[in-house]
Amino acid sequence: MSQQIEPDCLPDDLQSSTLLNYPSAPPALSGKLGSSPQPPPLFHVSDQLPSSFSKNTLDESVTTSINRDLHKVIDKTKQVLLPRQNQNALKEWDLWGPLLFILSLSVLMSVISFEEQSSLVFTQVFVLLSVGSCVVTLNSKLLGGQISFLQSVCSLGYCIFPLVLAAFVILLIGKNFISLICVIFTVFWAAYAACSFIASSCSPNRKFLTVYPVILFYSVLGWAIFA
């Protein structure tokens, strides 16, 4: 049978240590019986997502998706028209605009050409535009350009838009001195818009090697349009 020892009967050194370890008062408890404790939230969900995240588009209508993509194409086309307006517009790549402009230029050049050669011209122009943009992009990547493959293809495809305008002018007024001036102007326009984006992704000592194939690419397209 155990006996309880009073602290006063202990020596002074044991008495002091016992008083230090002995709780002075019971801990305060509060709450309601039968209520389960609520766990703290693991994380806070913000109402606004960062700009780098995109919202889920699986539940939106087809019309909303088409309008959104159409606005993106228009914004990137404005970047080609005014290359210094927004340098970041073409960094968010898409292939809808390039595909639209490649098809438009191929159709216009097939209409301009002779009727028996229209299908051949359409195929040649489509292959020239597709393969040429990939070759220019590969050259930029081999020279150490800090740009993704699809970004470069996207920018080169959007910069075809001035040449589409030149082909449309030839379709309206034919091949004459005015249309020749229009083709030359649009070739410089397209090359300047493409170079202002692609040249910014490479080192300064390799800028000429990166820009030269771009200028050659649009010059060949201009010659093919007027020839």
DSSP 126-171: HHHHHHHHHHHHHHHHHTT-SS-HHHHHHHHHHTTHHHHHHHHHHH
Where are the domains positioned within the chain?
63-74+93-226
**Which residues, in sequence order, are CB contacts of 213 under 8 Å at separation 6+?**
135, 136, 139
The model's pLDDT over 37-65, given as tens digits with 9 standing for 90+, comes to 555 544 444 444 444 444 556 667 788 88
- The pLDDT tens digits of the residues spanning 118-160 come to 888 888 888 988 898 888 888 888 888 777 888 888 888 888 9
Question: At residue 148, what are phi and psi to the nearest 5 degrees?
Answer: -75, 165
On whether the CB atoms of residues 198 and 147 are closer than 8 A, the answer is yes
Residue 34: CB partners within 8 Å, gap ≥ 6? none
List the single range of 16-30, 53-67, 175-189, 209-223 with lowest mean pLDDT: 16-30
Cα(190)–Cα(169) distance, integer angstroms = 16
Check: CB of residue 214 under 8 Å from CB of residue 195: yes
Residue that the structure tokens 């606004």 belong to: 48
> What's the whole-number average pLDDT of the chain?
76
Backbone angles phi, psi at 170, to 5 degrees: -65, -35
Q: Pick 140 or 81 by higher pLDDT.
A: 140
Answer yes or no: is pLDDT of 6 > 50. Answer: yes
pTM for the model: 0.68
The one-letter amino acid code at 122 reads: F
- Contacting residues for 120 by C-beta, under 8 A, at least 6 apart: none
Percent of the chain beyond pLDDT 90? Answer: 19
Coil, strand, or helix at residue 171?
helix
